[in-house]
Amino acid sequence: MTTRRVFISYEGSDRMKAKGFRLLRWNKNVDVEFQDRHLLDPVDSTNDQYIQQCIRDEIKGTSTTVVLVGENTKDSDWVDYEIERSLKEGNGLVAIKVDDEITDEDVPDKLKENGAEIVDWNPDEFGDAIERAASQRSKVGESTVRGRAGAGCGRS
């Protein structure tokens, strides 16, 4: 399996799940290989433009964006911005539901509208889903971004 560069997007209340996801690459029982980029440590700023620049810097050079979908993900302007930036960079998209209570209705519309693969929290599936998303990346680009344009980047 090819090692992919992955950006991890999540809403703040799912931070521990994001940290757990990062650890999977060292689990010898899980077939997933990636180098990750993320903002697991909150940006020490209230300046939206600075935070947006930090997000752009982390997404640049990745092939796939994994969005960890929890209860509040759909309402996060920051996750929405990360999805939008990922699409503009041509990244493939994977939505991973963080637990059994999460349904497809909890998945942000922008992910569904742009062909993200939606998977349950099953580490055995993550590697293949990331690989499929990375192979789709050339088919995704700025011209295909759908959803709210200019939604802004409010603090969520």
Give the model's pLDDT for residue 61: 87
Give the model's pLDDT for residue 98: 96
* C-alpha to C-alpha distance for 20 and 74, rounded to whole angstroms: 21
Does 124 fall in a domain? yes
- 10 Å CB burial of residue 47 (0-12, 13-18, 19+) is exposed
CATH number, domain of 70, equals: 3.40.50.450
Q: Mean pLDDT in runs of 10 for the chain (156 residues)?
A: 82 90 72 56 75 89 93 96 96 96 96 96 88 75 36 33
Boundaries of domain holding 92: 4-139
Does 83 fall in a domain? yes
Please give the structure tokens belonging to residue 13: 């209340």
- 10 Å CB burial of residue 90 (0-12, 13-18, 19+) is middle
Question: In 10 A of CB 143, how many CB atoms?
Answer: 7
- 10 Å CB burial of residue 64 (0-12, 13-18, 19+) is buried
Give how far Cα 110 sits from Cα of 6, 21, 43, 60, Å. Answer: 18, 22, 24, 19
Does 111 fall in a domain? yes
